A = this chain, B = another copy of it.
Amino acid sequence: MTKPTMEDVARAAGLSRALVSLVMRGSDKVSDTSRERVLTAAAELGYRPNLAARHLASKRSLTIGLVLNDLHNPFFPEVADGVHAAATEAGYRVLINSGYLRGALEREAVESFIDLGVDGVLLAGARIGASDLEQLAARVPVTVIGRHLRSTSVDTVNNDDLAGGRLATEHLIELGHQRIVHIDGGQGAGSSQRRSGYSAAMRDHGLEPEVISAQFTEEAGLRAGRRLAGRPKPPEAIFVANDLAAVGVLGALADHGLRVPDDLSVVGYDNTSLAGIHHISLTSIDQDRQNMGRLAVEVLLERIGGGRRGAVHHVIAPSLVRRATSAAR
C-alpha cells in the first residue's frame, strides 16, 4: 500500500492530472463540480500532496523553521505559541528545532531547515554571531527574536532590554535598596542590554553597579546565587537576567538561610510561567512573548513575500510585574 499520487487521484476522479494540480493549488479556474470530484476522490484515497515534490517544483514550501535556543526555558515555548498561531493563520506550517543551548547545534538546526527548503527561518534567542547571521540572511529570509542587531538584512523583534534592565533596577532602588547586584546572562540574547540598563540606572542614582557573570540557566543562577549568599555581607537586592536563573538564585539563597524578600529582594526577567508559580512568585519584567512571536512571523512573511528590502526592527515595551520577591527594605 503505497502513497497515492496525483495521477491516482486524477484517475479516480476521471479528470486530468493537470486539473487535480490546479485544485490542490487552490486555483479559481476550476468549476465547483470538478473541484468537488477531485476533493472527494482525494479524500477517499487519502491523498496528500508530497511536500518534497511540491517544493522541488515550486521553489516554495509554505513552511517556516523556528529555532528555539533552549526548550527548557519556558520563555521559548511561549514565543512558539505566538509563532504557531500567526503562521497557521497565514497558511504556513511551522517546524521547530532546538539549539540545545549550544551554538554549534543551533547552526546545525538552521542549516537543516535551509536544506529542507523552508521559506524562512525564525531564530528565538539565537546564540549565533552577528556576522554569521548576516551571511545566513543572504541565503534565506531570517527574523531574530530577542536579540538586538543593527542589520540591514536581518529583521528583529525584541523587547526593549535596556529599558527592562532599567525598570527592574529602578524598581529595586525605589524600594530603598542600594547594594543591588546584577547576575547577567553571559552571551545570551538580550543579556548585554539588560546589563547596560542596570548599570545606567545604578549610576543615575549615584550607585555603584556590580555584575556577576552567569548564564540563562537555573544551574548558572544557582552558582551565582551561592557566591553572593556566601558573602559576609550579601547584597540587599539582586536583579537576575532571566527567570530561569532567578529560580536558581532563589534556591541558593534559601539554602543559605536568606529570606526573600525579608533579607533581600530578587527580580527576574521574562515573566515566564515560572515566575507566576505560587511558591516562587517572582517579581519579573514582562515581555509579551506571544505577541513577539506573532510579530516575528508577520515580519518574516513580509520579507518572504518580497515586498521589502530594508530591515525592520520591532521593539516592544517591557513592563514590571510585582510579586512577592521584592519588598522595601
Contact = CB atoms under 8 A, between A and B. Distances in A.
B53 A247 contact: no
B56 A53 contact: yes
Nearest to A252: B278
A16 interface: no
A150 interface: no
Interface residues of A, number: 46
Interface in A132-183: 138-139
Interface on chain A toward B: helix, strand, loop, or mixed SS?
A: helix
A250 B279 CA distance: 8
B112 A93 contact: yes
Contact of A81 (B81, B100, B218): B100
Given A48-B114, A51-B116, A117-B50, A277 B280 contact: yes
B97 A96 contact: yes
A290 interface: no
A77 interface: yes
A49 interface: yes
A96 B98 contact: yes
Contact of A278 (B71, B255, B273): B255
A76 B68 CA distance: 14
16 contacts: A1-B138, A50-B56, A52-B117, A72-B273, A84-B98, A84-B100, A96-B97, A218-B277, A247-B278, A250-B279, A251-B277, A251-B278, A251-B279, A254-B279, A255-B278, A280-B280
